[in-house]
Structure 1
Amino acid sequence: MIDDPSITPERSSIMASVGPRDTKPEIIVRRFLHALGYHFRLHTKELPDRPAIVFRRRKKVIFVYGCFWHRHMGCHRTFTPKAREEFW
């Protein structure tokens, strides 16, 4: 845990409740792949960074990260939080 006096217990609780799996973009990708007939595993612990979707037989993985982290140029979903702007 980072020792930062500007992080309140309330903020820490909010951030802890944000889950790393079953996000809306991830579910959309999974439904699409399933509709195409692909078989896959989810969040395999044996692999580094726990990819969202794993095709074991094909030896392929898919990571599903949101626009917040990737900061795509011109993406309307990318934003900088108002709180602690110097951090971001």
Structure 2
Amino acid sequence: MKTKWYLRPMVIIVLSIVVPPIGYINIFLNKKNIHATEWVGYLAISTIFTALWMTKFLPHEIRIPAILVVVLLGTYLLSKK
């Protein structure tokens, strides 16, 4: 059986990177169709990029420190395996 186009790994990752809110919606609405270990990985990627995406709404003074904290925290969480 073929996988639907919106459940393919590259589509999920690209959506999570380019437009994180749509990536989140895709991941959560299709939780039953994605294997548990893959789901956690997609959720981690989407969470990191959503945090980076949300920094554009912060004041300029705290934008750079916020991005550094998100990148360091994301690196730590993804390498924790």
TM-score by shorter chain over 0.5: no
Superposition TM-score, scaled by structure 2 size: 0.28
More strand by share: 1
Which has the larger Rg? 1
